[in-house]
Structure 1
Amino acid sequence: MESVGAAVIGAGVVGLACARALAQRGIETLILERNDAFGRETSARNSEVIHAGLYYPTASLKARLCVAGRRQLYAFCSTRGIAHRRCGKLIVATSSAQESRLGLLQQQGEANGVDDLQLLGATAAATLEPELKCSAALLSPSTGIIDSHALMLALLGDAEHAGAWLALRSPLHGGSIEPHRIVLEAGGDDRLHLHAAIVINAAGPWAPQVAASLAGFPPALIPANFHAKGNYYALAGRAPFSRLVYPLPAAGGLGVHLTLDLGGQARFGPDVEWLADPPPRTAVGEFDYRVDPARGKAFYAEIRRYWPALPDDALAPAHAGVRPKIAGCAEPAADFLIQGPAQHGIAGLVNLFGIESPGLTACLAIAEHVVTELGLD
C-alpha cells in the first residue's frame, strides 16, 4: 500500500489551487482525477468571469473568499501572463421599479469590501454602452474575464514544480477513516490503495458522494446534493458591448447575462435548469451537457429587456455547465460549506461542498482557507 502526504480528489480549478498550496508547503501531494484531463467539469463550463464580490451576504465565505480571491487572482494572472481582461460589468435596472434594488446591491457590495462601485443613470450608462437600454445601472469596474484553462494550467504547473503529481483516469472508489490517516482506493483496472495524512475532497458536483464513500465519516454532516444545469447560447456576429451586462439577480443564479470571451465573442446565459431528483448519496454519475436549441427561445425576451436590438435567430447553442448545489430550488442560496477538522473532528480531512460561483474567482483564497483549516498556515 502506497503512502502520500496529501491526496486531492478532483482536478478542477479549486482542487488544483489546493494541491498547489499544499505542495508549495513541502507536502507530497497526489491529485486524483476521474476524467482523462484536468478541469473537464464545472471549471471548464462556466462564464469565465472574475467576480467583484457584491452579491453575497456580508461575512459569508462566498463574500470573503471572492473579494480576497479576486485580488489574488488578478495579481497571479499579471505575474504569470495568464490571459485576462478587467473589462468591467454593468448590472442593469430595466424599469424604475428595479432601481431601488440596484442601490441595495451597491450597499451589499460595499459592505463586502467592493470599493469601486458606481451607480449610473440611464444617460451615463448609454454613454458607456450605446446599445444598452436601462433606467439605471451599477458599474463594477473590478469585474473581468479570464482564460480558465490557462489558469488551471498555471496552477497545475506550480503544483508539479513543487513536487505534486496528477493521476488521470483515477476515480475514487471509496475509502475509510483510520486513526492518524485516511485510506483511499482509486484508479481504473489497476486500483491503488493509498494512505494519506491529508485528504481534500474537491470533487465539485460529486463532493457529497465522495464524503459518503469514506467509511467512518458521519452521514449527518453530508449536505443534500442538487444539480442545476446552466445553458449558454452564442451570439452570431460582432458583440454589441465592451463590458459584461447582467440583469438583477434571479432565483437560482444571476439571470441571463451577456458575457464576453477574450476573443470578443458574446455569450448569453446561463439559465437555471434544475436537474431531476438529487442523485443517490453514493452514486457518482455523468451529466448530459447537450444544449437544447429550443430553450434558447426564452432567452430573446429576457435579453431584449436590456438590448432591444437583438436580431431574431441570432443565438445558437454554445455549451452548458452544472452548478454543484447544496440547497434546492425552493430554498435560499447556500454559502460555501468548507468542513475541516474543527467541524467534523477528523484530522487531515477537508470537504469542499457547494463550491459553485464564485469558486473560480475565489480559488486561491479557498486554497489558503483550506491550509488554515488544516493548521498549516
Structure 2
Amino acid sequence: MESIEAVVIGAGVVGLACARELARRGFETVILERHGAFGTETSARNSEVIHAGLYYPTGSLKAGLCVAGRKLLYEFCATHAISHQRCGKLIAATSAAQESPLAALQQQGEANGVDDLRRLGAAEARALEPDLACTAALLSPSTGIVDSHGLMLALLGDAEGAGASLVLHSPLQRGSLDANAAGMVLESGGADSLRFKARLVINAAGLWAPQVAASLAGFPKALIPANFHAKGSYYALSGRAPFSRLVYPLPEAGGLGVHLTLDRGGQARFGPDVEWLPQPTPGQTIGELDYRVDPRRADAFYAEIRRYWPGLADKALTPAYAGIRPKIVGPGAPAGDFLIQGAAQHGIPGLVNLFGIESPGLTACLAIAAHAVGVAGAASEQHAGRFG
C-alpha cells in the first residue's frame, strides 16, 4: 500500500491554501477532490469580498483569522497578479434605531484589530455615495473584492510548484486508523480508486466535512458537529451600478444581509439572502445540490435593497446564481465560530477537521491554512516526530 505524507480532502479555497502550506513546508501532499474541477461549491459561489474583520466576536477564530488573513490575502494578490480591488464598504443604518447597533459593530471591529473604521453622518455618507439612503454609516476602507477563481488558480499553482498533486473525481469513501497509530488508511472512489496510508489528513471538505469525519472508522461520533446548509441567492442589476463601494445593511440572523457587491468590471449584484435547506445527516449519501435561483425570491430582495437604495427600479434585478454555506448551528442560533479540530480535541494523531468554514473563509484562507497545519504539526510532532 502506498504511503503519502499529507492528504487534503477538498479542493476549495481553504483546501488549496492548506495544500500550498503543506507543500511549501516540504511535505508530499495529495489533494482529493470529488468534483471534476477545483472550487466548484462554496468557494466559487459567494460575494468574493475581502472582509476587514469587524463582524465576528472578539477573540473568536473568525475574528483573528479574518484580520490576519485579510493582510496576507492582499499581499498574496499583489505578488501573484490576482485581480482584486480595495474598494471599501459602507454599512448603512437606515433608521435611528439602527445607529446604536452600528456603533456597537464599530466597537467590535476595533476590538478585533480593524483600525481604519470611520463613523459617518448621513450627509458624509451621501457625499461618498449620493444614492445611499441612511441616517448614519460605517466606512470600512480595508474591505475589497477578489477574483476567487484567480485566487484558487494561484494557490493551486503554488502548491503544485512545491510538489503537491490534485486528484479529481476522487471522493473519499472511508478511512480508518492505522494499526500502529502512525497514520490513517484512506480509500477514495471514482474511476481510479486509491487506497493509501497518510500520516497527516486535513479534512477541508466544506459542506461535507461532517460526513467525511463520519466516514473515518474510529472517529468519536460525539465530536462531529451538527451540519446545516444555508442557501443564498444573488440577483444581478441591469444597467449601471449606482455605487462605487460595497454597501451592506446591518447583519441579520444567518448572514450579513442582502448587500450590494461589485465585480471587477464594476457590475453590481445583490445578495445573499438566507434559505435554510433540509439538514443533512452524518451518514447521508452526498447528492447533488440545487443551485437554481427561485425568481419568486426577488420580491423580498426589492424590499430589502430599497431600505438603503430607494432608487432601485422595478424589474431591474435578474437571477444570477446561488451559493450554499456550511454551518454548524441552525436557524435562530447565534452564528457559530470556525471549528478547527485536532488531536487535542479528538485524540487522533495527524487528523485535522475544518468544520463550519463559511464567511470569512475566503478572506481568511491563508491564515486558516497556517493555523490548521500548525495544529496538525503539533500533533504529529508529538506522535511521530515528523513535523516541526
Tell whether 2:11 aligns with 1:11.
Answer: yes
Q: Which amino acid aligns with 2:126?
A: A
Secondary structure of residue in 2 paired with 1:196: strand
Aligned to 1:290: 292
Shift of 1:289: 0.2
Tell whether 2:337 aligns with 1:335.
Answer: yes
Distance 2:348 2:59 in 1: 26
Secondary structure of residue in 2 paired with 1:333: coil
Aligned to 2:22: 22
RMSD (CA atoms): 0.9
Aligned to 1:345: 347
Aligned to 1:303: 305
Distance 1:277 1:249 in 2: 23
Distance 1:334 1:280 in 2: 19
Tell whether 2:85 aligns with 1:85.
Answer: yes
Shift of 1:253: 0.2
Q: Give the TM-score normalised by structure 1.
A: 0.99
Aligned to 2:59: 59
Distance 2:223 2:344 in 1: 13
Distance 1:33 1:219 in 2: 24
Shift of 1:280: 4.4
Q: Give the TM-score normalised by structure 2.
A: 0.96
Shift of 1:330: 2.1
Shift of 1:282: 4.2
The answer on whether the counterparts of 1:175 and 1:185 sit within 8 Å (CA) in structure 2 is yes
Q: Which residue among 241, 244, 251 is the counterpart of 1:242?
A: 244
Shift of 1:278: 3.1
Distance 2:367 2:94 in 1: 34
Please list the CA deviations of residues 56-106 of structure 1 after superposition, one character each: whole Å capped at 9, or x if unmatched. 000100000000000000011111111100000000000011111111000
Please list the CA deviations of residues 275-311 of structure 1 after superposition, one character each: whole Å capped at 9, or x if unmatched. 0133343432221000011111111011011100000
Aligned to 1:371: 373
Secondary structure of residue in 2 paired with 1:254: coil
Distance 1:95 1:25 in 2: 51
Secondary structure of residue in 1 paired with 2:115: coil
Distance 1:131 1:105 in 2: 23
Distance 1:129 1:24 in 2: 44
Shift of 1:38: 0.2
Aligned to 2:322: 320
1:183-332 to structure 2, matched below 5 A, reads 183-332=185-334
Distance 1:52 1:192 in 2: 41
Equivalent pairs counted in the alignment come to: 377
The answer on whether the counterparts of 1:3 and 1:196 sit within 8 Å (CA) in structure 2 is yes
Distance 1:14 1:128 in 2: 34
Aligned to 1:169: 169
Structure 1 spans left out of the alignment, 5+ residues: none
Shift of 1:34: 0.4
The answer on whether the counterparts of 2:169 and 2:191 sit within 8 Å (CA) in structure 1 is no
Q: Which residue among 336, 360, 363 is the counterpart of 2:362?
A: 360
Distance 1:283 1:94 in 2: 44
The answer on whether the counterparts of 1:64 and 1:112 sit within 8 Å (CA) in structure 2 is yes
Secondary structure of residue in 1 paired with 2:123: helix
Secondary structure of residue in 1 paired with 2:212: helix
Distance 1:242 1:279 in 2: 43
The answer on whether the counterparts of 1:208 and 1:281 sit within 8 Å (CA) in structure 2 is no
Distance 1:207 1:114 in 2: 30
